[in-house]
Amino acid sequence: MTCDELRPEYEAFALGSAGEPERSDIAEHLGRDCPACTEGVAAALSTVAAMASFAKPANPPRALRRRVIAMIDPSAARSRFAVWLPWAVALTLAIAMASIIVPARRESAVGSRLAEAFTILNDPAAKDVAFGEPAKPARGRIFLSPRRGIVLIAANLPSIPSGRTFQMWVIPQSGAPIPAGTFRAGAQGSVVYVRSGPVPPAAAAVAVTIEPAGGSPQPTTTPFIVSRL
Amino acid sequence: MILPALLLALELTGHNDEDLARRLQNREPRAMAELYDRFGRLAYSVTLAIVRDPAATEDLVQETFLRAWSRIRAFDAARGALGAWIIAIARNRAIDYLRSMQKRIEANSLGFDPADHPRLFNDTERNLLNAEHARLLQSALAGLSENQRRVIELAYYEGLSQTEMAEKLGQPLGTIKTWTRTALQQLRAALTAGATA
Mean pLDDT of B149-163: 90
User: What distance in Å separates residue A49's CA from the closest CA in chain B?
Assistant: 5
Pair A76, A185 in one domain: yes
Pair B117, B136 in one domain: no
- Give residue A191's pLDDT band: very low, low, confident or very high (50, 70, 90): confident
Q: What is the DSSP letter of A83?
A: H
- Please determine, for residue B194, whether its predicted confidence score (pLDDT) is greater than 70: no
Pair B147, B192 in one domain: yes
Decide which of B78, B101, B121 is a domain's last residue. Answer: B121
Instruction: Write down the pLDDT at residue A62.
Output: 86
Pair A35, A83 in one domain: no
Instruction: Write down the pLDDT at residue B129.
Output: 67
User: What distance in Å separates residue A167's CA from the closest CA in chain B?
Assistant: 21
Q: What is the pLDDT of residues B55-69, one digit of tens each?
A: 889 989 998 998 899
Decide which of A21, A38, A54 is a domain's last residue. Answer: A54
ipTM (interface predicted TM):
0.81
Pair A121, A31 in one domain: no
Instruction: Write down the pLDDT at residue A158.
Output: 86
- Number of domains forming the structure of chain A: 2
Over pLDDT 90: what percentage of chain A? 8
Pair A177, A111 in one domain: yes
Q: Which chain A residue is nearest to residue B106, measuring alpha carbons?
A: A188
Instruction: Write down the pLDDT at residue B30.
Output: 85
Q: What is the DSSP letter of A200?
A: P
Contacts of B54 in chain A (CB under 8 A): 61
Q: Who wins on pLDDT, A32 or B36?
A: B36
Q: Do residue B161 and residue A17 have CB atoms under 8 angstroms apart?
A: yes
Pair B101, B28 in one domain: yes
Q: What is the mean pLDDT of chain A?
A: 78
Mean pLDDT of B124-128: 67
Lowest mean pLDDT among A194-203, B83-92, B113-122: B113-122
**CATH number of residue B179's parent domain:** 1.10.10.10
CA distance A183 to A147: 21
Decide which of B96, B121, B146 is a domain's last residue. Answer: B121
pTM, entire model: 0.63
Q: What is the pLDDT of residues A122-154, one digit of tens each?
A: 777 788 888 876 566 788 888 888 888 999 888
- Please determine, for residue B6, whether its predicted confidence score (pLDDT) is greater than 60: no
Contacts of B44 in chain A (CB under 8 A): 58-60, 64
Instruction: Write down the pLDDT at residue A177.
Output: 87
Instruction: Write down the pLDDT at residue B85.
Output: 92
Mean pLDDT of B93-99: 85
- Number of domains forming the structure of chain B: 2
Pair A97, A168 in one domain: yes
Q: What is the pLDDT of residues A75-114, one digit of tens each?
A: 655 444 433 343 344 334 333 333 444 444 444 555 667 7
Q: Looking at the domain assignment, is residue B126 inside a domain?
A: no
Decide which of B92, B121, B150 is a domain's last residue. Answer: B121
Mean pLDDT of B140-164: 90
- Please determine, for residue A198, whether its predicted confidence score (pLDDT) is greater than 50: yes
Pair A95, A155 in one domain: yes
Q: Do residue A53 and residue B37 have CB atoms under 8 angstroms apart?
A: no
Pair B172, B104 in one domain: no
Sequence-distant (6+) residues with CB within 8 A of B15 are B38
Instruction: Choose the mutation target among A15, A23, A128, A142 for the interface with B, i.e. most B CBs under 10 Å.
Output: A15
Mean pLDDT of B180-188: 89
Instruction: Write down the pLDDT at residue A44.
Output: 87
* B94-to-A217, B52, B169 alpha-carbon distances in Å: 38, 10, 23
User: What distance in Å separates residue B65's CA from the closest CA in chain A?
Assistant: 7
Instruction: Choose the mutation target among B122, B153, B161 for the interface with A, i.e. most A CBs under 10 Å.
Output: B161
Q: Do residue B70 and residue A60 have CB atoms under 8 angstroms apart?
A: no
Pair A109, A8 in one domain: no
Selection from B152, B145, B151 nearest residue B172 by Cα: B151
Pair A17, A102 in one domain: no
Q: Looking at the domain assignment, is residue B3 inside a domain?
A: no
Instruction: Write down the pLDDT at residue B170.
Output: 94
Decide which of A54, A69, A96 is a domain's last residue. Answer: A54
**Domain span at A86:** 61-229
Over pLDDT 90: what percentage of chain B? 32
Mean pLDDT of A42-66: 87
Pair A215, A104 in one domain: yes
Q: What is the pLDDT of residues B71-88, one digit of tens each?
A: 898 888 888 889 889 999
Pair B74, B110 in one domain: yes
Pair A66, A50 in one domain: no
- Please determine, for residue A33, whether its predicted confidence score (pLDDT) is greater than 80: yes
Pair A168, A204 in one domain: yes
**Domain span at B179:** 131-196
Instruction: Write down the pLDDT at residue A166.
Output: 93
